[in-house]
A and B are shown apart, each in its own frame.
Chain A
Amino acid sequence: MATDTQTSTSRASGASAVRRLLLDNGALTALIVLVIVMSALSGDFLTTDNLLNIGVQAAVTAILAFGVTFVIVSAGIDLSVGSVAALSATVLAWTATSQGVPVWIAVILAIATGIACGLVNGVLISYGKLPPFIATLAMLSVGRGLSLVISQGSPIPFPDSISHLGDTLGGWLPVPVLVMVVMGLITAVILGRTYIGRSMYAIGGNEEAARLSGLRVKKQKLAIYALSGLFAAAAGIVLASRLSSAQPQAAQGYELDAIAAVVIGGASLAGGTGKASGTLIGALILAVLRNGLNLLSVSAFWQQVVIGVVIALAVLLDTVRRKAGATPVAAGAGTPGGKGKQAATYVIAAVVAAAVVGAMSFLHTGSSSSTTQKVGLSLSTLNNPFFVQIKAGAQQEAKKLGADLTVTDAQNDASQQANQLQNFTSSGVGSIIVNPVDSDAAGPAVRSANKADIPVVGVDRGVNKADTAALVASDNVAGGKLGAQALAEKLGGKGKIVILQGLAGTSASRERGAGFAEGLKAYPGIQVVARQPADFDRTKGLDVMTNLLQAHPDIQGVFAENDEMALGAIKALGSKAGKSVSVIGFDGTPDGLKAVQAGTLYASVAQQPKELGRIAVENALKAAEGKKVEETVKVPVKVVTKENVAGFGG
């Protein structure tokens, strides 16, 4: 009997230890709730492969977030980590490939770049007395700009020996996960055991008290930001090796993910608190959420809403827990206050669970009948009508043929796209359609789909160094040429024009620009007076055009690499548009065609995005059934002017 009692007590104390662990770590509770919900909703979630996927997908955010943890614990903020990651990766790829530097030196240079950026932040903050927000915001812009300067806007292939970092070890352990774990351990040791780590808590808790206790606050801050830069460089290298290419536009907005991960993990932006384990959990929550939403075929638009809500709830859970009891360490368990605190935590956990379950089942649009074919479509962005049109065409065709189509939005982020493709592969779709953010960067993810024998169809842009069953595209170079021809003819072979370029580093921008330049060679009388990027964006098109008009009020023509920028330019031109200045756009979007009809847009080089989507789905289904498909399907491109616009509507 005595032993019985003992076991039951120890079991009880074990259970209470677990309960205490969960209560003291709101983020851990949230993660567990999420995992349970996801496992219940999707049979594909709780598999070894998928869990490793999540690890890989969390790695870059987690490594960035570890670096940011140092900064946040010391009551600072680092907004530059995303840019610094991209810059470091670009430096590595550029020195190793273009400059012929040995790879190991290139790696050292990349790390040094990260540290240098961090030191500059640190100097500005410690000695320049800039607020951390401002200093690192400046570095965000400078870092991004430098990586574009070095790479000249194009992705640089990553040296093969480093790209192995994106592979697996022993055939199953992905190296990024290993790197994440190692960096996490280093972070934990630095925070918990080293002089600089303990100083971070003191500086973050009360900088003046730390200074008056003899801590060299300024020097420590230099080191703290340098560490953050170092971790950003490591994250950049992991990111680029996964994609086998260094993207100048990589990791945009990752600083916010990293900060979110740190805060979800229980750190306070006011400083003085934060742990490596919490940050890891925060990064995992974000990754689990993205992965699960992909697996559940939640609409791309709703995904962002759900992610935002979960971030808020996870932090709320922690805040309520803290508010319910600023736990004095030896406070007796079972006091009334303690019970209230537990109740509050359970209530919040229940609310989180209910919200997630509700949102999932509400948004879970995919039908679960097993007879239908599953197709995954990963679009580079849905922030542009052209791609929305591709989506619409694909959905119509899928409905017609009775297939189950899941659409994801990569938000112009190559690494997010790689994650989504991986999620498609592990959820066992019949075929995948990919509209790559970048042709090189999509390679590794498509190769792993190849390995799983899932046919991949490229749409709009091709995939390099991987097998695609078919490529459905309109010819951007040819379109550029046609645009040049149309504009030059309209201007009678001479005049001054400006070019609005798309997002630097994208293939669409490169190819259209190249085609346009090619086409212009036949018209020596046309003078290009300015060439400026407006990122495929209507608002930026308006701003850039307004600026250009200040410098060049006498232009006669504008070539915009897409309709959105052309429409922005038309706004800037005002009454000049369609009269003294001819504008040519690209894509043939509904808004663009309307403008052509109204006469403000002279012409649009029209692709037929719905056709692209439709044909892509058709081919993907064929390929999945093992039928033969054509390797490249060219969808015709046509210059639409007022004369022939009627035939294009919709």
Chain B
Amino acid sequence: MSNQDELLRIEGIRKTFPGVVALDSVDFDLRRGEVHVLLGENGAGKSTLIKMLSGAYHPDAGRVLVDGEEVRIHGAQDSERLGIATIYQEFNLVPDLTVAENIFLGRQPRRFGMIDRKAMEADAAELLRRVGVNVSPRARVRELGIARLQMVEIAKALSLRARVLIMDEPTAVLTSEEVEKLFAIVRALREDGVGVVFITHHLEEIAALGDRVTVIRDGKSVGQVPASTPEDELVRLMVGRSIEQQYPRVRPVSGDGTGDGAAADSALLTVEGLTRDGVFHDVSFEVRAGEVVGIAGLVGAGRTEVARAVFGADPYDKGAVKVAGAALRRHDVNAAMEAGIGLVPEDRKGQGLVLDASVEENLGLVTLRSATHGGLVDLKGQRTAAARIAGQLGVRMAGLGQHVRTLSGGNQQKVVIGKWLLAETRVLILDEPTRGIDVGAKVEIYQLVNELTAAGAAVLMISSDLPEVLGMSDRVLVMAQGRIAGELSADEATQDSVMALAVSTPTTDSDSETAVEGSRGH
């Protein structure tokens, strides 16, 4: 059984938390120079498994072998010594230190007892070059975007000369171009003999990058298959049933969605010439009742900024936002809410949820004011409403009192959406609604979008997941460099046509404004 190429073997691992069996008899192995994909729905136990390897958790039963020898990993030092490096979804970087300091944190090269800044920055520059990212080693991490943070994390892992590299959903936050770059790096590492444990929810990435796949479901390893396994089969293994359709969009019957007169009358959300100097310029579009409008574009194109400005979370310099024809006060979340706009923010944990509060409290957050009568909150009413919506959305939880921190990503997102449904939102802005969410929950969220639009609501969906934008939108707006680079109908929109617009350089007065011809006269 002793295999020369075997780096890592896990046998019969079990781990319980109070009231929950997180892992039960999980087997896994990793060879030199392979990319082994770990696949499973959120909450299946993938994160728990990799935390055992980084020393954050200790198994209750089972063995971990490195190079054929049983080891006990008690902390980060142990795993580092064994050559195991982990890149988590939530980065472990210190925002106010420089890139170089972060890469060498705790291991800064020293000269005469002082940190040798020059050597450190030179080494960091070399690592960053290998990763292929254009960042100054002296830049502060706080100033970097999310994709670059990821690259810094990889550079850090490279600096550790890791033999086992664990990547927890590294592509979740990247644009397709960045994903390609990442894949190139991972392939290079594989050539060097590094074993990579790769966690992803993007099934198409498996065939592109992986060698083998281990599927985990409900804390058990349910199968090990080659990466060439068809996606349908992988999904079936993962969710224990087959999912018929990944993007179940039911498009409204009337028309193809381009701006003809009759449809323009029912525009629910109208954005005209929205500009914030240096961030986005002259952004105009509208979303009609019953319609899903997708916004695609590269990270940094200004999509999230526009969404936040429309919702009143951030100010803008010029332009107007109207709901059903009535203009909204600028930079006023409450005005937007009263008009019926809701925002499901990009950063679910940081902006969407109060993690240490219960499901009930989170669901009732938006309706808290309207449920207050004579100074007192109608707690009973809030509870009934929360129970109703949680049931309707199929939030899987132990009870309404469970803290949302302990829910899986998909269920957390349902709670964020649920609080807006309770407030009877007419215009829902979804910013990366399915980031880090497993296939099963994704489909549930898409079906929710269908229900909303069927009931006459308008949905504006920002997503970096191109198949999702293409599969779910009735129209696709593509943003590039802070401007709308173009609009595509569902039929016109393909991966190629969207990407062509996303990397284009839009001009100020352009053909890209076809979407708002009707409203320009004002």
Contact = CB atoms under 8 A, between A and B. Distances in A.
Interface of A: 189, 192-195, 197-199, 201-202, 205-206, 208-216, 272-273, 325-332, 335-338, 341
Nearest to B358: A329
B365 interface: yes
B368 A199 contact: yes
Contacts of B376: 189, 193-194
B243 interface: no
Contact of B368 (A198, A205, A329): A198
B502 interface: no
Contact of A195 (B18, B352, B353, B375): B375
Given A202-B354, A205-B356, A212-B352, A328 B369 contact: no
Contacts of A201: 354, 357, 361
A194 B375 contact: yes
Given A210-B354, A212-B333, A213-B365, 19 more contacts: A193-B377, A193-B379, A195-B372, A206-B355, A209-B354, A211-B333, A212-B343, A212-B345, A214-B365, A215-B368, A272-B354, A326-B406, A330-B402, A331-B19, A331-B398, A332-B19, A337-B18, A338-B18, A338-B19
B152 to A, nearest CB: 24
B419 A194 contact: no
A205 B365 CA distance: 12
A70 B377 CA distance: 17
Interface residues of B, number: 39
Q: Which of B356, B375, B379 has the most CB atoms of chain A within a 10 A radius of its CB?
A: B356
A202 B357 contact: yes
B21 to A, nearest CB: 9
A335 B355 contact: no
A361 to B, nearest CB: 37
B18 A194 contact: no
A112 B19 CA distance: 51
B17 interface: yes
A272 B356 contact: yes
B266 interface: no
B353 A214 contact: no
A208 B399 contact: no
Contacts of A338: 18-19
Contacts of B495: none
A326 B403 contact: yes
A327 B18 contact: yes
A206 B349 CA distance: 9
B432 to A, nearest CB: 15
Contacts of A337: 16-19
Contacts of A199: 368
Contacts of A189: 376
Instruction: List 8 tightest A-B contacts by C-beta distance, closest first.
Output: A331-B19, A205-B354, A337-B18, A330-B398, A195-B372, A325-B18, A213-B365, A329-B401
Given A202-B357, A336-B16, A212 B351 contact: yes
A330 B337 CA distance: 34
Given A193-B379, A330-B402, A335-B18, A210 B365 contact: yes
Contacts of B403: 326, 328
B313 interface: yes
Contacts of A214: 333-334, 337, 365-366, 369
A337 to B, nearest CB: 4
Interface string B15-34: 01111100000000000000
A331 B366 CA distance: 29
B47 to A, nearest CB: 15
B350 interface: yes
9 contacts: A201-B361, A202-B368, A205-B354, A206-B353, A212-B313, A272-B356, A325-B17, A329-B401, A330-B19
Nearest to B311: A212
Interface in B303-329: 311, 313
B377 A211 contact: no
Contacts of B16: 335-337
B383 to A, nearest CB: 12
A328 B354 contact: no
A330 B358 CA distance: 13
B399 A330 contact: yes
B450 to A, nearest CB: 25
A195 B365 CA distance: 10
Contacts of A330: 19, 398-399, 402
Contact of A328 (B20, B337, B345): B20
A187 to B, nearest CB: 14
B354 A331 contact: no
Contacts of A331: 18-20, 398
Interface string B330-346: 00011001000001010
A216 B337 CA distance: 12
A332 B398 CA distance: 11
A326 B401 CA distance: 13
Contacts of A326: 18, 403, 405-406
Nearest to A324: B18
A557 B361 CA distance: 69
Given A212-B351, A325-B18, A337-B19, A198 B399 contact: no
Nearest to B337: A214
Contact of B398 (A202, A213, A273, A328): A328
A96 to B, nearest CB: 31
Nearest to A217: B333
Nearest to B347: A208
Nearest to B401: A329
B382 to A, nearest CB: 9
A498 B463 CA distance: 75
A338 B20 CA distance: 11
Contacts of B365: 202, 209-210, 213-215
A192 B383 CA distance: 14
Contacts of B18: 325-328, 331, 335, 337-338, 341
Contact of B354 (A192, A206, A327, A329): A206
A371 B272 CA distance: 93
Given A326-B403, A328-B406, A194 B372 contact: yes
B402 A329 contact: yes
Q: Which of A197, A214, A337 has the most CB atoms of chain B within a 10 A radius of its CB?
A: A214
B357 A328 contact: no
A159 B150 CA distance: 68
A553 B55 CA distance: 66
Contact of A329 (B333, B372, B399): B399
